[in-house]
């Protein structure tokens, strides 16, 4: 069983991908329109109740695309909530809204229509389970082998391979995807590596997670993480030395020179000890 049972972890990774890729992320989900503006995702309604939408985009045709990421499927309850978001946004902006709901966590065969009174409400349901991760990996590998440029949309797809359907295990998918990313020179490379590692942290544990850590350690991101770890370790050691020096009666100025900490940092440490 994976280390984290909270499936919101998966939800956050998908939102991170939208932050990074924006319009290309929309294209991956089949929304081929130009983004005019990324809109506020908070709607304030009566009774001071705030409704938080995952993402809203104002498109060039002045319609709104509303995207929700779901790791659970509550059926009608969710559809009623999405309808409320859509109705309020349309009322406040006087623009039409279309809602896309992206389901992960193995969810498929979802309901996209809500019958409510004499009305019918529709969403565009997208299941990550219906996408084939093996095909995504194969196509990007072929591009690299033939010196064809890997696009941003390819990277979006590669990022989501851990939650697509596949004949491979999640471990093998993540390892293969990391190996592919290592061959790509792209400004989004580190973002993709970090999101793949986040998926590994959610789904894997024990030896499997260690294998991913080993693979990540051989990337530029891995080098950055190691350096960050060393820096944090050095800071922790400096703080411990400062605590000992304070107890020995040394001045803040001298402790700062010995440890590399600032005098204000030493002063804060001194106060924490005395409290």
What is the per-residue pLDDT across 187-199, written as a single tens digit (0 to 9) for each?
888 888 888 988 8
Q: Which range among 14-28, 78-92, 153-167, 176-190 shows the weakest confidence by mean pLDDT?
A: 14-28
Provide the pLDDT for residue 47. Answer: 43
pLDDT at 206 over 70: yes
Average pLDDT rounded to a whole number, residues 146-154 = 93
Looking at the fold, whether 177 and 148 belong to one and the same domain comes out as: yes
What is the number of domains present in the chain? Answer: 3
> Which of 130, 160, 181 represents a domain boundary (last residue)?
130
Q: Is 13 exposed, middle or buried (0-12, 13-18, 19+ CB in 10 A)?
A: buried
In a domain, 113, yes or no: yes
Q: Are residues 37 and 91 in the same domain?
A: yes
> In percent, how much of the chain has pLDDT > 90?
37
> What confidence category does residue 94 fall into, taking pLDDT thresholds of 50, 70 and 90?
very high
Model confidence at 48, in pLDDT bands (50, 70, 90)? very low
Q: Are 216 and 206 part of one and the same domain? A: yes
β-strand 113-116 against 49-52: which pairing, if any?
unpaired
Highest mean pLDDT among 2-11, 41-50, 121-130, 235-244: 121-130
Q: Do 237 and 212 fall within a single domain?
A: no
Does any domain span residue 208?
A: yes
20 falls within a domain? no
Give the residue, 97 or 21, on which the prediction is more confident: 97
pLDDT-derived band at 49, boundaries 50, 70, 90 = very low
> Which range is most confident: 7-21, 211-225, 242-256?
242-256
Q: Specify whether 51 is located in the same domain as 140.
A: no
Asked if 107 and 73 count as a contact pair (C-beta separation under 8 A), the reply is yes
Query: Do 251 and 269 fall within a single domain?
Result: yes
Q: How confident is the model at residue 39 (pLDDT cuts 50, 70, 90)?
A: low
Least confident range from 47-61, 67-81, 156-170: namely: 47-61
Domain boundary (107, 130, 153) is at 130
- Is residue 212 situated within a structural domain? yes
Question: Is the same domain home to 60 and 121?
Answer: yes
Average pLDDT over residues 108-113: 90
Considering the domain architecture, whether residues 97 and 124 belong to the same structural domain is answered as: yes
Asked if residue 27 belongs to a domain, the reply is no
% pLDDT > 70, the chain:
85
> How is residue 38 written in tokens?
């990324």
Do 144 and 203 lie in a common domain? yes
- Residues spanned by the domain of 125: 33-130
Is 160 among the domain residues? yes
CATH number at residue 71: 3.40.1350.10
Q: Quick one: pLDDT band at residue 6, thresholds 50, 70, 90?
A: very low
Is 7 within the bounds of a domain? no
Q: For residue 134, what pLDDT is reported?
A: 96
pLDDT confidence band for 50 (50 / 70 / 90) = low
The larger pLDDT score, comparing residue 79 to residue 262, is at: 79
Residues 142 and 126 in one domain: no
Give the model's confidence band at 158: pLDDT under 50 very low, under 70 low, under 90 confident, else very high. very high
Last residue of a domain, one of 130, 148, 180: 130
Pair 126, 141 in one domain: no
**105 within domain boundaries:** yes
Residue 52 burial (10 A CB sphere; 0-12, 13-18, 19+): exposed
Q: Residue 150 — pLDDT band, cuts 50, 70, 90? A: very high
| Same domain flag for 193 and 264 | no
Selected residue with higher pLDDT from 161 and 236: 161
């Amino acid at each position: 069983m994976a280390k984290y049972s909270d499936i919101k972890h998966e939800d956050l990774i998908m939102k991170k991908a939208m932050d990074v890729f924006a319009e290309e992320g929309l294209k991956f989900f089949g929304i081929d329109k130009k983004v005019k503006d990324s809109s506020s995702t908070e709607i304030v309604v009566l009774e001071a109740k705030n409704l938080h939408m995952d993402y809203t985009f104002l498109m060039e045709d002045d319609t709104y695309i509303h995207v929700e990421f779901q790791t659970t499927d509550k059926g009608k309850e969710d559809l009623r909530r999405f309808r409320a978001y859509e109705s309020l946004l349309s009322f406040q902006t006087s623009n039409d809204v279309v809602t896309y709901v992206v389901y992960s966590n193995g969810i498929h065969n979802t309901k996209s229509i809500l019958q409510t009174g004499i009305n019918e409400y529709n969403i565009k349901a997208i299941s990550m389970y219906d996408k084939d991760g093996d095909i995504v990996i194969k196509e990007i590998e072929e591009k690299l082998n033939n010196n064809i440029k890997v696009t941003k949309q390819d990277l979006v797809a590669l990022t989501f391979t851990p939650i697509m359907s596949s004949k491979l295990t999640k471990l093998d998918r993540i390892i293969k995807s990391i190996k592919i990313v290592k061959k790509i020179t792209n400004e989004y490379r580190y973002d993709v590596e970090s999101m793949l590692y986040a998926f590994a942290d959610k789904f894997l544990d024990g030896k499997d997670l260690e294998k991913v850590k080993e693979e990540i350690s051989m990337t530029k991101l891995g080098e950055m993480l190691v350096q960050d770890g060393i820096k944090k370790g050095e800071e922790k050691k400096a703080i411990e030395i400062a605590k000992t020096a304070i107890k020995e009666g040394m001045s803040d100025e001298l402790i700062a020179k010995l440890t590399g900490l600032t005098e204000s940092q030493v002063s804060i440490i001194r106060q924490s000890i005395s409290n």
